[in-house]
Amino acid sequence: MGQVSRDRDGEGRARSARPRDGLGRPLPYGVAGVERQPEGVLRTPRGTLVEAQRLLDTGKPFHAHEVFEDAWKSRPEPERDLWRGLAQLAVGLTHAARGNAAGGARLLERGADRIAGFGDPYDVDVSGLTAWARDLAERLEGGNGSPVDARAEAPRLTLK
């Protein structure tokens, strides 16, 4: 059995080169997709929030999740659950927009639980995001399984 050739990034790590749509779904090779977020970008907390909000506002929660993932991997330990929870909220919205209501609701609840213990670091609207996530999760659980509009459902991340 031959070894399967895998796409690799510039540093040799496995990373699919297939284009993706705005919700992160892989598209066939050769099709125009949405530009991917570069991995491993070190941003300030404010820079992370600004970039993630821009992506959420344009209906790209999967890509916002990648921005939060960089923060959760690079920020100090006491903050990592905040950034990981924000990433889970973005992925929850991604699943909801893809029509996966059960998975979206689960991730939204998990993200809300993870960030609920924080105050409002970096002006993150923790209580507002927690309420938004729980409301959307409830609507998903009681809905008909239709995909939600990621742009219309995008939360505000900060108090300001």
Buried/exposed code over 105-142 (b: 16+ C-beta within 10 A; e: otherwise): bbbbbbbbebbeebeeeeebbbeebbebbbebbeebee
The domain made up of 45-153 is a member of CATH 1.10.3450.10: yes
How deeply is 96 buried, as exposed, middle or buried, from its count of CB atoms within 10 A (0-12, 13-18, 19+)?
buried
Confidence of residue 35 (pLDDT cuts 50, 70, 90): confident
Would you say residue 8 has pLDDT above 70? no
pLDDT digits (tens, 9 = 90+) for 93-151: 999 999 999 999 999 999 999 999 999 999 999 999 999 999 999 999 998 889 999 99
